[in-house]
Structure 1
Amino acid sequence: MASLSTLQTYHTLAGLFAPQFAVRSARRLMMRPRRLPPRDWEQPALAAAQRIHFRFGLSGLRWGKAGDPVVLMLHGWEGRPSQFGRFVAPLLAAGRQVIALEGPAHGQSPGDEANVVSFAYALMEVVPEIEKLEAVVGHSMGAGAVVYALGQGLNVDRVVLLGGPSSLRGVLHRFAGFVGLPQAAHARFLQEVEDYTGVPLDDLDGVRTAPRLRPAALIVHDRDDDTVPYGDGAALASAWPGAELYSTSRLGHWRILTDERVVQRVMAFLAPERVAPELPRAA
């Protein structure tokens, strides 16, 4: 892959003189994930997992006993089910079963391209195969996909969103700036993505969707998240009736998946009958 500076220079110049090529290139770049290997700390969770496949080809990992209530998890961009490994043992101890889906073009799930819409459709595709679904947990783009799926009729009692965006529009503007598209090409880039997914960007605005959502929600976001701004989580929590915002500091976008305080707070929300009432406070 070309260096970041080369990509930025190309998209800046092409965005000025041939914007149709620049926005198409940026869209392809944005939607083609790398399949990254798991880190060492993920290995214990991987070793304990059972590989599962759903009827339309999607893949995932399962932990726990068949028949127990299910917590369904969806990772973010270039993420993996094993990134939820810190949550698995506490959930199993609380009598839950954990199923973590591999989104399209991730892990062993098919495809070369992915986006928040395809992630949401994948989620809705596998839900009919899951008995006793109790809760859904999403991280980053997976969290955005959960919100869109809920707006499309996904039925679940509890939802946990970790470092999720409040809208795709904001994500696209940040990505356009990251790859060097000039401001004048941003609107064209947003239209390119909207045309490609077939879903209006307004329909992917979680703040617009949240007021009509009824599941109980815990929204976890770090004040120092440099990938998805903290304001996204705060705005989503404010718009969602009854949602709770759990704010952390100094964890960034990824360490909220491994921090013990976050794990305990999520457990208190998903399985309150099994967690002591006194929890460490976030910084």
Structure 2
Amino acid sequence: MKRFLQKAIPKMYGFYFNILSLFSQEKAGKLALKVFSTPRRGRISEHQIEFLNSARQQRIAFKDGLFMLYHWKGDGPTVLLNHGWESNAFRWKYLFDDLKALDYNIIAIDGPAHGNTSGTLFTAIEYSKLIKATVELYEPEVIISHSVGAMATVYNEFHHPSPSLKKLVLLGGPNSLEVIMKDYQKLLSFNKKVYTGLDKMLFKRFGYHVTEFKTENFAVNITAQTLILHEQNDRIVPVSAGREIAGKMQNVTFIETQTGGHSLHTKENTNHIIEFLKNDNS
């Protein structure tokens, strides 16, 4: 029954969008974008509280309320950690001990509508605004970002280059919003009219059509040493996305990993990250 509902509910959304588009393409597109931007998971779970409480916590104002920042003090360079979709700052626990061993000054944030941050909607562009505010406060020399967090980070660097940034690590980052939206359309089975309305709403709110929003286009001016990790059999974001982004960057090491899936939570990948951070000639 649970499996049936998991398949049926998206189709019900799509059916409703299709009916609504008969009366108003704009309203159908607006609702489709809202559903797309609403995470269903990513708030703090009970088992995550102890680790997150080991940090100094700071709430910072942004448009939709307050976003949560976690700080584990160290005497070395500052590293900023940006999680992905339906996650939160706890996802970095697997990397925490290795970063502390290098005495990094560790900053992590919860994205909009995730963890302990306010809001109900999440987009890469809105997330980039929180990243920008954090970069301005702490001037990180290293940024490590996963999935949509990687897309948001690169978008922010394109519009607001970080003078302090020396090293950038992108983990399983998506490239083309069009690929993501086409998958969304297929999952919900909504029609072309709804898709066009969604595209118009995206342009109205953010200034980009679906086909124009590509991480590779925002990555072209990044000069920081960059490591891109992508698992060869990633089922969430295909490895081709990592290759495409790497192909447009100036100072990049691309590693197609063998383990970890989309999360990349394996010792192999941790070793790649730590070696990159320790190596002055990466």
State the match for 1:189 in structure 2: 198
Supply the AA of the counterpart residue of 1:80: N
Question: Are residues 1:49 and 2:58 paired?
Answer: no
Change (3 A) 1:49 1:203: farther
Shift, 1:30, TM fit: 1.2
- Report the AA paired with residue 171 of structure 1: I
Does the aligned pair in 2 maintain the 1:137–1:160 contact within 8 Å? Answer: yes
Equivalence for 1:242: 251
Distance across 1 between alignment mates of 2:89 and 2:223: 26
Instruction: Report the equivalent of 1:96.
Output: 104
Give a deviation string over 1:82-136, Cα, whole Å, max 9, x none.
10111111011112121111112222222222211011111111212115x1111
What's the counterpart of residue 112 of structure 1? 120
Contact 1:42-1:85 at 8 Å conserved across structures? no
Are the counterparts in 1 of residues 233 and 261 from structure 2 also a CA contact under 8 Å?
A: yes
Q: Aligned partners of 1:240 and 1:19: how far apart in 2?
A: 38
TM-score, scaled relative to structure 2: 0.85
Cα deviation, residue 265, structure 1: 0.4
Q: Matched residue of 1:125: which SS? A: helix
Match of residue 207 from structure 1: 216
Give the drift of 1:149. Answer: 0.6
**Corresponding residue for residue 72 of structure 1:** 80
Q: Residues of 2 paired with 1:102 and 1:151: CA distance?
A: 21
Distance change in 2, residues 1:106/1:96 (3 Å): same
The answer to whether the aligner puts 1:265 opposite 2:272 as a matched pair is yes
| Cα distance per residue 1:216-268 (max 9 Å; x no partner) | 111111122222221111100111112111112453222x0x21111110111
User: How far apart, in 1, do the equivalents of 2:266 and 2:254 lie?
Assistant: 16
Give the structure 2 partner of residue 127 of structure 1: 135
Count of equivalent residues: 270
Q: Does 1:63 align with 2:72?
A: yes
Structure-1 residue corresponding to 2:26: 20
Amino acid at match of 1:46: L
State the SS of the aligned residue for 1:211. Answer: coil
Indicate yes or no: 2:38 matched with 1:29. Answer: no
C-alpha RMSD of the superposition:
2.7
Partner letter of residue 30 of structure 2?
R
Runs of 4+ in 1 over 6 A off after TM superposition: none
Unaligned runs of 5+ in 1: 278-283
d(CA) in 1 for partners of 2:26, 2:19? 12
Structure 2: gaps spanning 5 or more residues: none
The answer on 1:6 being equivalent to 2:15 is: no
- 1:98–1:123: structure 2 CA closer, same or farther, 3 Å change rule? same
3-state SS, counterpart of residue 141 of structure 2:
strand
Distance in 1 (alpha carbons) for counterparts of 2:268 and 2:46: 21
